[in-house]
Amino acid sequence: MKVTLEHLTKTFPARGKKGREVTAVNDFTFEIPDGQLVGLLGPSGCGKSTTLHLLCGLQMPTAGRIYFGDEDVTQLPAEKRGVGMVFQNYALYPHLTVLQNILFPLQNLKGADKLSKEEMNRRANEAAGLVQIGELMERKPGELSGGQQQRVAIARALVKMPRILLMDEPLSNLDARLRLQTREEIRRIQKETGITTVFVTHDQEEAMSISDRIVVMKEGLIQQIGRPQEVYDDPANQFVAQFLGNPPINLFSGRIRGGKLLIGEEAVLEAGALPDREVSVGIRPEGFVPDPQGPFTCALSGVEVMGREVSMVCTHQAAAAPTVRAIVGADQVEAKAASVRFRLKPEKVFLFDRETGERIYG
């Protein structure tokens, strides 16, 4: 099912005397192609959960329209939208067994949609099989681990064959190892069922690793939409560049003089035809290549070993953050040097406007 959002806006009225109106979602327009997994990504308070609530109908938009396929569902109440939702805390009914939890949405069906008992059980078992919890059907949610509860929640959302599947921070309550496992699981289930899925996360790594597309949001505004790699390689602005990537991008204040990009007094790259101006320079950690003849000098304060690679922790007076991190191959490092010279990979260096943070293409 293709999902289309048109100029979707949600404004919350001011609360109290000093309160002001809050626009949680501001003029969203985008389209989710059928069968894709889309991650809404942004820091807390960026409006991603509100977007999810608008999609499932728990909240009604102030303006704009939502389409599932060709059907306008903007005014449709939550119970008629046919969406499946996985809540951040799973919201499994604690007094019902796993089977009863999964059956719950099916037992709500009325009239012509009403299913026979056998059919309900068949579908519940099918959904349970899909998330591999078949042997846990008689347990109560309290007796399950976090990862198992998560699977039950997914099964409950899938059992009624929803038109779209929504997930609110599906992995945030799991420990690191389980998170890796579960995100692959979610990806597999989504692929197998082919259900258009929207999930919300503040974890860029999570979003990048399983999404077909990510939507980066900030303060209710879409910053960039695209395939994870595209967004990472070609960020639209400084916010997106900073939000994606771990370790984060290194920012420097720089300037363009006579076709060269200067950081401090060092001309580090050719700047093409760009006119002279002040800029903010973002360099991905993997954009540094140690080179004794390189143009860019940093004071080296330490080396962190990560196994296959090492992270060189440096300082530079023009850097925005106290440390600059460069990820390089383990064999390229001289840990004892007081300073280190780098050559920069041009495709890993981005220029932004100092004031607006907008990308400057050169």
Partner 1 sequence: MDKKNAKGWLYVLPALLFLGAFLVYPLVDVLIYSVEEGFNFASQTYSGVGGYNYAYVLRDPYFIQAIKNTFILVAVTVPVSTGLALLISVGLSSISKLRELYQTVFFLPYVTNTLAVGLVFMILFKSTPYTDGLANLVLIWFGIAPVDFIDGPYWAKMTVLCLYTVWVVMPFKILILTSALASVNRDYYNAARIDGTSSLRIFTRITLPMISPSLVYLIITGFIGAFKAYSDAVALFGTNLNAAGMNTIVGYVYDMLYGSSGGYPSYASAAAVILFAIVLTITCANLLISRRHVQYLS
The reply on whether position 105 binds partner 1 by CB under 8 A is yes
Q: C-beta of 128: minimal distance to partner 1 in Å?
A: 17
Query: Hey, which residues does 83 pair with through a beta bridge?
Result: 164
Residue 61 lies near partner 1 (rule: CB under 8 A):
no
Whichever of 80 and 257 has its CB closer to partner 1, that residue is: 80
Q: Is 48 in the site for partner 1 (CB under 8 A)?
A: no
Nearer to partner 1, 111 or 307 (CB): 111
Q: Using the minimum distance from each CB to partner 1, give the nearer residue, 55 or 271.
A: 55
Q: What is residue 178's DSSP assignment?
A: H
Query: What backbone torsions phi and psi does residue 183 show, to the nearest 5 degrees?
Result: -70, -35
Q: Are 158 and 127 in contact (CB under 8 A)?
A: yes
Which CB sits closer to partner 1, 93 or 304? 93
Binding of partner 1 at residue 1 (CB under 8 A)? Answer: no
Residue 55 C-beta-side C-alpha neighbours within 13 Å: 33
Is 109 a binder of partner 1 (CB under 8 A)? yes
- For 2, the 3-state DSSP assignment is coil
Q: Which is nearer to partner 1, 93 or 138 (CB)?
A: 93
Tell whether residue 85 is a contact of partner 1 (CB under 8 A). Answer: yes
Q: Are 321 and 280 in contact (CB under 8 A)?
A: no
Site size with partner 1, rule: CB under 8 A: 25
The closest alpha carbon to 61, from 20, 88, 23, 30, belongs to 23
- Binding segment for partner 1 (CB under 8 A), chosen from 73-81, 193-201, 240-248, 287-295, is 73-81
CB of 139 to partner 1, least distance (A): 14
CA distance 217 to 181: 26
CB 89 to partner 1: min, Å: 6
Binding mask 114-143 for partner 1 (x = CB under 8 A): ----------------------------x-
Half-sphere exposure of residue 272: CA atoms within 13 angstroms, side-chain side: 6
Residue nearer to partner 1 on the CB measure, 50 or 224:
50
Query: If binding is defined by CB under 8 A, does position 160 make contact with partner 1?
Result: yes
Considering the complex, state which of residue 74 and residue 88 has its C-beta at the smaller distance from partner 1: 88
Tell me 144's DSSP state: S
Question: Going by C-beta distance under 8 Å and a sequence separation of 6 or more, which residues neighbour residue 71?
Answer: none
Site for partner 1 in 174-213 (CB under 8 A): none
| Cβ distance to partner 1 smaller for residue 172 or 297 | 172
Q: Which of 15, 95, 191, 257 binds partner 1 (CB under 8 A)?
A: 95
- 75 lies in the site for partner 1, by CB under 8 A: no
Total H helices, total E strands in the chain? 8, 21
The 3-state DSSP class for residue 199 equals strand
Take residue 118 and report the two structure tokens written for it: 């056998």
| 3-class secondary-structure state, position 59 | coil
Tokens of 232: 């990472």
Q: Where are the alpha helices (DSSP H) in the chain?
A: 48-56, 98-107, 117-130, 146-158, 176-193, 204-210, 228-233, 238-243
Under rule CB under 8 A, residue 7 binds partner 1: no
Contacting residues toward partner 1, per CB under 8 A: 56-58, 78-81, 83-85, 87-89, 91, 93-96, 104-105, 108-109, 142, 156, 160
